[in-house]
Chains A and B, each alone.
Chain A
Amino acid sequence: MTDDLATRFAKYFAHERPECDNVQVADLSRIHGGASRETYRVQVTYLVSGRPREERLILRRDPESSLIETDRSTEVGALLAFQERDVPVPRIDFLETHPKWLDRPFFVMEEIRDSAPGRVFQPDPYDEHRRTVGEEFWEILGEIHAADIEELDLGDGFEGPDEPHLAALEYWERVIDEDELEPQPLVRAAIRWLKANPPPPPERMTVVHGDYRHGNFLVSEEGEITAILDWEMCHLGDPLEDVAWALDTIWSAPGDHPGGMIAAEDALKIWSDVSGVSADPAALRWWKIFSAVKGMAIWISSAREFAEGRNMDPVIAFSGWYPAQAHSEVLIELMKEARAA
């Protein structure tokens, strides 16, 4: 399958880069993860004016079935908007929506070399770089939220809702309504609480990355964050949505350091200093509970995809089971605190 994909990708590349001769795909291999898009590492060789060249790229193709139903132009729009800012993102080379090339829409970006995501299920995923990576992680989130949405060229599909908390909650509740395979008393109780206890309006409407967390960025061996990835859930809204998601304890081994990086208190100070937004405790509590509900919606969708045979990738079965259980445990604790407050 990947041989055929490689041949077809070479044809696409040659079509898009008519100045290149003898375009060949030397390697095309699928990367694990990325439940919302199929992701491939691609090595392309070609000649320009008789001189050999090589490029290493990442191909992100829409899957036949996805956990997260977003248009790939959302992800590309966000990546393009942050190209020239203090947010490390990969260069985008192509966005193709016509299915004649690779059957489904896809986009292509540069491969960030000599970098890797933090290790999963590890108590200390960044080793001696824990503090540096943590400080950078929260500074970059601050930069994303400091960006003026009127100045950013985000393209189509980015409209600020009047009540971002309600728009977000209704979206994910709808996903649960459509995809749940069994009744969810805990999630339904949390949704009712969220509706009955709305947060204050956001201090500022910002870009929300939508999946900003441990595992969704690359780090060099020297401990520098080289790319923020996985922008497919990007939208405009309350920046605390990202903050709460990043603080969620399910993204790393249990402990006081979300994502295996720095303490939550330090993280919030750095983020607030850079973004210019404060983290109102009541609002943050609301967004933390929302994060667990949003996570549950994604895991519920995953369970359905697998159970109905639309996507039999083992990571989909895993997503429908372990993180759903972990997020249920988080939700119990958060709701205990909320009900006592």
Chain B
Amino acid sequence: MKPEVNEILTGVLGTVLTDIAPHLPEGYPQGSMTMIALLNIFAAQEYDRAAEVRAHENKAMRAVFADVAASLPDPDLRARLEKASNESDESLKVSVLNASNSSLKELLIELHKMAEESDAAWARAADEMIWALMAEFTAARHLDIPVM
């Protein structure tokens, strides 16, 4: 589709900020319009990357689970990590990716907690890998905000 959604979202901002917002009463109406403009900007950034960010996060979490599962002393968690690591995303719809992303993050929290409670080599390695993942995930979702 042309123009792309992100182009539409940012393209209408000029009208909003220069032709509409200045004619609104000061205070709540203008402040709310500024918020709507910023939300447009964020939505435009998210549109382009949403599927990739989530698909990448899911793949990265599954890779860590595959690395760590065999070393885990807890058979129940080991089985669940192995199962999750063998799955893949069947759809690139954001809602579908979000659902698996949440399930995987629940497992990640459980694994991280278990790793923190152990001094074993696998636990220290898992802890490092999980912190690296969280840093990478956070950076990938960064939002640029314009100077208003």
Contacts and interface: CB of A to CB of B under 8 A. Distances in A.
Contacts of A325: 138, 141-143
B28 A322 contact: no
Interface string A25-38: 00001111100000
| Size class of the contact patch on chain A | 35 or more
Given A33-B31, A120-B148, A325-B138, 14 more contacts: A30-B28, A123-B147, A182-B105, A183-B102, A183-B106, A184-B109, A185-B105, A189-B109, A189-B130, A318-B38, A325-B142, A325-B143, A329-B139, A332-B139
Contact of B30 (A32, A189, A322): A32
Contact of B28 (A32, A189, A336): A32
B121 interface: no
Residues of B in contact with A, size category: 20 to 34
Interface stretch (A89-97, A100-108, A309-317): A309-317
Interface of B: 25, 27-28, 30-32, 35-36, 38-39, 42, 98, 101-102, 105-106, 108-109, 112-113, 116, 130-131, 134-135, 138-139, 141-143, 145-148
B134 to A, nearest CB: 5
A330 B139 CA distance: 11
A335 interface: yes
Contacts of A123: 147
Contact of B32 (A32, A329, A332, A335): A32
Interface of A: 29-33, 41, 120-123, 182-186, 188-189, 192, 253, 313-315, 317-318, 321-322, 325-326, 328-329, 331-332, 335-336, 339
A31 B105 contact: no
